[in-house]
Amino acid sequence: MHHELEATPENVHWGVFDAKLTPALRIAPGDTVTFHCLSGEPEDMPEKGFAIPPALAEAHRKVRRGPGPHFMTGPVFVEGAEPGDALEIRILSAELACDWGWNVILPDHGTLPEDFPKLRRLHIGLDRERMLARLPWGGTLKLNPFFGVMGVAPPAEWGAITSVIPRAHGGNLDNKELVPGTTLYLPVFVEGGLLSLGDGHAAQGDGELTGDALETSMDVEFTVDLIRGQSTSGPRAENDEYLMAMGVANSLPDALRQATTQLARWLERDYHLTPNESAIVLGTAMRYDIAEIVDPQVNVVAKIGKAALAGLTK
């Protein structure tokens, strides 16, 4: 079946992941969903030149503000999902819903806070036909839409947590590889999984230098399947070219170690390599991306080209 979830106040939560959230939608494994997603807190809104989507203005008025800045559509309850399972989320499309976005520099924030000490908020026009951003100083920027926040409910004992900090449940991953054609795998911690998406990015560089990408409201279509009894220790993804394991930790070395270990375990489980064999493959062909470095937790992506696994059977 195909479902559509509008970004109404009843279907949106603001800045929080929580196992106690009421599902906005229930689906069966294999169903496809279209989410309409919002971006931007009241202070991010343009004063002139661009129209504010009515759904976003209504969310500002009616949705309870949480500890993080992100609006998320959902959560979705996947029938039959239990702790110990994993959700398989195949991203089919990610489309801009506005003709503008914004980027903000916050004082004492970002990767290099001492280099950018002053508040600056810039609104940027988006050409949805040519898929270009029109920068105020005359340049253009190629757009590559994806969602920065994709996550399930955390374990109940974590309580309500901010949408800012990525953890094992996913959340603010800011992995620019999570575009249409990519499949994301997330561990299930509570019944139904409770999947939410938000934080539309029209474009983003590695690591989110200032703490923001080119933020905008977007729509996304995805299919959700259930992998029973094969939970992961954290988020994983794959596309036609790469397997990608994400390590989320308090430091770059710890995140790198976690991502590498998770990718090794993936090769050992699904491709039947011994630990020594997986070490040889990773040691000769692995790459790293820094997806998120501005938050208290960082996200390092360990990736291996599928060409290096040619001849192996899953």
Classify residue 249 as left (phi > 0), alpha (psi -120 to 50) or beta.
beta
Chain length of the chain: 314
CATH number of the domain encompassing residue 152: 2.60.120.580
pLDDT, tens digit, for every residue of 129-154? 999 999 988 889 999 999 999 999 99
Query: Which one, of 137, 167, 138, 4, lies nearest residue 73 by Cα?
Result: 4
Instruction: Report yes or no on 232 lying in a domain.
Output: no
Q: Tell me the whole-structure pTM to 2 decimals.
A: 0.95
Do 12 and 54 share a structural domain? yes
As to burial, measured by CB atoms within 10 angstroms (0-12 exposed, 13-18 middle, 19+ buried), residue 236 is buried
189 and 266: one domain? no
Which pLDDT score is estimated for 311? 78
Residue 35 lies in a domain: yes
Same domain, 153 and 253: no
> In the prediction, which pLDDT does 299 show?
94
Residue 56's SS3 state is: helix
Predicted pLDDT at 109: 78
Q: Choose one of 174, 197, 227: the last residue of a domain.
A: 227
15 and 100 both lie in a single domain: yes
- Evaluate whether residue 205 is within a structural domain: yes
Domain membership of residue 233 (yes or no) is: no
Span 181-200, average pLDDT: 98
The answer on 287 and 215 residing in a single domain is no
CB 233 within 8 A of CB 187: yes
List beta partners, residue 167. Answer: 170
Same domain, 270 and 184: no
Last residue of a domain, one of 177, 203, 227: 227
The string of pLDDT tens digits covering residues 89-109 is 999 999 999 999 999 988 887
Mean predicted confidence (pLDDT) in 185-190: 98
Least confident of 21-35, 73-87, 117-131: 117-131
DSSP assignment of 108-130: T-SS-TTT--S-EEEEEEEETTT
Q: 240 - beta bridge partners?
A: none
Please tell me whether residues 216 and 95 are part of one structural domain. Answer: yes
Q: Is residue 47 in some structural domain?
A: yes
- Structural domain includes residue 258: yes
State the CATH number of the domain containing residue 277: 3.10.28.20
Query: 34 and 167 in one domain?
Result: yes
Is the domain of 128 the same as that of 46? yes
Query: Is residue 101 situated within a structural domain?
Result: yes
Both structure tokens of 173: 């991953």
**Which range among 51-55, 204-208, 243-247 shows the weakest confidence by mean pLDDT?**
204-208
* pLDDT mean across residues, the chain: 94
| Residue owning tokens 């040691």 | 283
* Structural domain containing residue 247: 240-309
pLDDT for res 233: 87
Give the lowest-confidence range in 10-19, 69-78, 105-114: 105-114
**Is 305 within the bounds of a domain?**
yes
Domain count, the chain: 2
Helix H, strand E, coil C: the string for 274-300 is: CHHHHHHHHHHHEEEEEEECCCCCEEE
Q: Are residues 95 and 180 in the same domain?
A: yes
Indicate the residue among 227, 261, 296 that finishes a domain: 227
Domain match, 217 and 278 both: no
- Tokens standing for residue 181: 């054609």
My answer on whether 253 and 202 are in the same domain is no
